[in-house]
A and B are shown apart, each in its own frame.
Chain A
Amino acid sequence: MRALSDIAPAEQAADIVPPPEKPPEKPIEKTAEPPRPEPRVRRLNIIGRRNIFFAISLLIIIPGIFSMATKGFLLGIDFAGGTEFTVNFSNHPSVATVENAVAADPLTAGGTVIQTGGGGGYIIRSLPLTPQQQALVEDNLTKRVGTMVVQQVIEVGGTIARETIEFALLALVLASAAILFLLAIRFRNVPGGWRAGFQFGGSALAALLHDVFLLTGLFSIMGKGLGWRIGEIDSLFVTAVLTVVGFSVHDTIVVFDRIRENLRVSQRLSFEQVVNISIMQTAARSIITSFTVVLVLAAILIAGGTTLKGFALALLIGIVSGTYSSIFNASPLLVVWRRVQPLR
């Protein structure tokens, strides 16, 4: 991690890379002068290469948006509506046996069968059923396939499904607006005042939307494009997206906070230089924090229950994306915004 660390900004004025119009081809390596022995400091010019990083993001996001627009999502039961039986057959039947039994029952004909693990576990989905019909379906399955344990039955009507979707959009809009204003308020004391505050807030918001689109896009590709069940969208996925929103802003704020501090202490540097130094100074922290969260999530993904795997994967993707966007998108975007709308 030493490679990413840095020395205090005031001591570094001489080390700053050339302005971004002429980005260097290699990271600049430089040995700091002694007052006392100092480790070698290597600095990456992130701001100068911002177009590369923007391109990488777009490369993932655009196919995702395309997939969302054309194919949509693989919907979980709480969005799609209907009845879902989670059962476990004691005689470990084949998928075909279960599918035949489901198709043979007029109540579940046209429903879907998903195998969960090898131990006779299946998920069977059908249109909404009344409790009496559910009991009939369970009886028929037992007759046609064999004895089974009904682990879970979920019945979701259309009203609830619509409300869950409405909630998801509402929560996202509310969270975005709240975060924009929180940042605008917290960063209004940088030079430039409220307008600068909104530049900070807007850049964080853009990074946040980057993560939201990247995550939903990837899940659309996984669920519909590749047909993986882990790419299913349910209310836990919505929770994951909103958590990622929180985390992404968390990371971005740490960088922005450092920019704010460095703007105060180093008047000699250009805005771009300050931003680049700030990214370098906070990168170690961002990566370590994300790393620990990723470790925890990987633990859930490997050891957690089946129901939580999609959730853990969504959080994992989102948090990696959140770290990436806070380092490589949010701050470069702030620089671009400053150029378009100069404040000093």
Chain B
Amino acid sequence: MLQLVLSWPIRLIIIAVLVFSLFVDGAGYVYRVANHYPLTGNVPGLPPNFGGWQLYIHRGLDLAGGTHIDYLLTNFPPGQARADVQQRTIQVINKRVNSLGVSEPQIRGAGNNNDRITVDLAGVTAQQAQRTIGAISKLVYTKWVADTKVTNGPEPGYKPQFVGLTGDDIQSATSTIDQNGTSWVVNISFTSRGAGVFDNLTRDNVAACPGAGVDCPLRHLTIWLDLTQKDIDNWEDPNYVSKIYAPYDTGCLSAQTPNTICGKYLVDANSLTEIAGGQAVITGGFTQQSATDLATGINSGSLPVDLQVLDVTQVGSTLGAESVKLSLAAGLLGLSIVVIFMIIYYRVPGLLASIALLFYAAAVLAIFKVVPVTLTLAGITGFILSVGMAVDANVLIFERFKEEVRAGRTIAAAVDAAVHRAWPAIRDSNTSTLITCVILGFVGPPAVQGFAITLGIGVVASLVSAIVVTHNLLAIVMTGSALRRPVLMGVDRSARVV
């Protein structure tokens, strides 16, 4: 296998990887140059999008600032798969969070028992986040009863009245395409209690306005989120009603003060026939988007579980920016110290190893962007640390190289022997580090996982850089006899050049 390392196909692959890495690393600059923008300052369209890849470093919350919350789900509805309930809860949270306008909110399920949800929101305070996610939205059904004092609003002459049917009575709402395959509808399935109430309601509605398919206010069942008795009492105020009747707005609700009036309306459906059996369909010229929105709206009115906050971390954006600056400084400092040390101690091989180290840094950064790996403070440390490890394989080879020269080999033969003999140690020692990384990555909490991932990527990249890149550079340098002078190779003058 090691013979292959010096072949031209491998060299071409390495060059291709290097070019690709530099392109990815400098994607922002490539974009600026290609579009004739200045190289510094704000430019529209960054980060650039190359074939669906947003090539920029994804920063974790501790670097970007924001809020991280772990929720414990309790009170699972009986008789439903926990994984499904967890997924539905995630959708609900997603819907609620969307109103905050967070870029790339991360809402993930966790827990061995599907009983955890982790939420990462950049640029949001803990209070905002918790109010939005934990806001107790209650989905309620109303029918319409006559009230002559109501002159305006969605149904003039009528005001809503609670019918005792709430989000708790709904098992789920889903958007599907109807049997004809022509239009989008929303299916609602009720719990057994809900099914009974719904059956009675629709029967009364149809009886109130006899005739097939008649549209009269008494036949309407309307769904709201968080509609209160106080709202209904204010129904005679047309101004108030026009605000309440607006589409449901989580953003407004999460920021609401006692005096704001937020939209609470979801859908106003006409009962065409009595519906028994607990399966209802809402039709009405939906698009795929609007049907999905409505289904999510109905579902988000009913978190299927209770959310209990386990822990909250809120990081200010200034602290994050400072951490980035300090870590970058530490990384650059560390890298330059290592480069200087390697060149002084190992001369030409040290220089080549340093070049390989730069290749390694470029490649790892590109991997972080392409995968993408979300970088946290611990993750950056893993990366900086792997710079130190990247040198190790080189040191093993170079020390062995000195030994082989002392044992009487020519410099060219010694390079070859050194790489071959150092290989088992390099392989075994890096395997053990990788095993540690895998264990940390699987069982660790998120901060530790970030560290394990960057360190793991770093270890693999350092292997390639030391075995393939350095060795090839050495082999190329060997062809020039001027560079083969022992003093440049960091070995004794007494060694034979040949």
Contact = CB atoms under 8 A, between A and B. Distances in A.
Interface stretch (A22-30, A95-103, A242-250): A242-250
A308 B70 contact: no
Given A246-B436, A257-B424, A285 B399 contact: yes
A183 B421 CA distance: 18
Interface in A225-263: 235-236, 238-239, 242-243, 245-247, 249-251, 253-254, 257-258, 260-261
B261 to A, nearest CB: 23
Contact of B337 (A154, A261, A295, A305): A295
Interface residues of B, number: 74
Interface in A276-314: 281-282, 284-285, 288-289, 291-293, 295-297, 299-300, 302-305, 307-308, 311-312
B166 interface: no
B448 interface: yes
A334 B154 CA distance: 86
A236 to B, nearest CB: 6
Contact of A152 (B127, B315, B424): B315
Contacts of A236: 378, 447-448
Contacts of B147: none
Interface stretch (A31-39, A42-50, A58-66): A31-39
A73 to B, nearest CB: 18
A296 B330 CA distance: 8
Given A152-B316, A299-B334, A135 B127 contact: yes
A260 B424 CA distance: 10
A178 B442 CA distance: 14
A145 interface: no
A133 B394 CA distance: 55
Contact of B433 (A37, A152, A250): A250
Interface string B287-312: 00000000000000000000001111
B451 A239 contact: yes
Contact of A36 (B326, B421, B494): B494
A311 B455 CA distance: 15
B377 interface: yes
B425 interface: yes
Contact of B494 (A37, A135, A289): A37
Nearest to B129: A131
Contacts of A285: 395-396, 399
B145 interface: no
A56 interface: no
B338 interface: yes
Contacts of A336: none
B156 interface: no
A304 B432 contact: no
A159 B406 contact: no
A131 B345 contact: no
B395 A300 contact: no
A80 B385 CA distance: 28
Interface stretch (B17-25, B225-233, B246-254, B317-325): B317-325
B117 to A, nearest CB: 14
Interface in A74-124: 86
B310 to A, nearest CB: 5
B475 interface: no
A125 B17 CA distance: 48
B334 A154 contact: no
B385 A160 contact: no
A284 B421 CA distance: 16
A288 B334 contact: no
Contacts of B437: 246
Nearest to B130: A131
A259 B326 CA distance: 42
Contact of B447 (A134, A171, A235, A254): A235
A150 interface: yes
Q: Which among A160, A243, A251 has the highest number of chain B CB atoms within 10 Å?
A: A243
Nearest to A158: B310
Contact of A254 (B314, B396, B402): B396
A179 B338 contact: no
A164 B445 contact: yes
Contacts of B425: 253-254, 257-258
Given A171-B439, A304-B327, A159 B395 contact: no
Contacts of B430: 250
B381 A154 contact: no
Interface in B344-389: 345, 377-378, 381, 384-385, 387-389
A331 to B, nearest CB: 14
B329 interface: yes
A149 interface: yes
A51 interface: no
19 contacts: A8-B406, A37-B494, A149-B316, A163-B445, A167-B448, A179-B432, A182-B428, A239-B452, A242-B440, A257-B428, A281-B403, A291-B341, A295-B334, A300-B334, A303-B333, A304-B326, A304-B327, A304-B330, A311-B381
Closest 7 CB pairs of A and B: A293-B388, A296-B334, A246-B436, A155-B312, A257-B425, A299-B334, A151-B319
Interface of B: 62, 70, 72, 126-127, 130-131, 309-316, 318-319, 322-323, 326-327, 329-331, 333-335, 337-338, 341-342, 345, 377-378, 381, 384-385, 387-389, 391-392, 395-396, 399, 402-403, 406-408, 421, 424-425, 428-433, 435-437, 439-440, 443-445, 447-448, 451-452, 455, 492, 494
Given A11-B407, A302-B333, 15 more contacts: A38-B406, A153-B313, A157-B311, A160-B70, A160-B310, A182-B435, A246-B435, A246-B436, A288-B395, A292-B388, A299-B337, A303-B333, A305-B323, A305-B377, A311-B378
